[in-house]
Amino acid sequence: MEKKKTYEKNCSNEIINKVKPNMPDTKVLYELSDFFKVMGDSTRIQLLWALEESEMCVNDLAALLNMTKSAVSHQLKVLRTAKLVRPAKKGKNVFYALDDYHVKDILEKALEHIEHTN
């Protein structure tokens, strides 16, 4: 009971009033959470890192990551839905690339953070 009283005593409406206007809308925060769920899969991270280096087709990605074409296609569909990769048809093949520079920035910042904390 005393911890609650101490907490309440230390709360500040001034801080709340300062922070609240800068909080994104709840819907946006849910979308952000979903984004990180997609990014939270190690297979999808491997695909994104490969595509950061070069656009590639499903066959190349499957060979590079030692996966089946079906498994790669499934994960690429998830990444396409999340707007992290984009397909481009070239002849009979579909090549995938990162959707835009933001995806590369996110990957690089995350790696920088991991390397900094180790």
Residue 29, pLDDT above cutoff 70:
yes
**Residue 118 — very low, low, confident or very high, per pLDDT cuts 50/70/90?**
confident
Question: pTM higher than 0.85 for the full model?
Answer: no
Query: What's the pLDDT at 13?
Result: 85
Helices (H) and strands (E) in the chain, counts: 7, 3
Q: What is residue 12's predicted lDDT score, i.e. its pLDDT? A: 80
Quick: pLDDT tens for 58-106: 999 999 999 999 999 999 999 999 999 999 999 999 999 999 999 999 9
H or E segment and range at residue 6:
helix 2-10
Distance between CA atoms of residues 39 and 11, nearest Å:
35
Does residue 56 sit in helix, strand or coil? strand
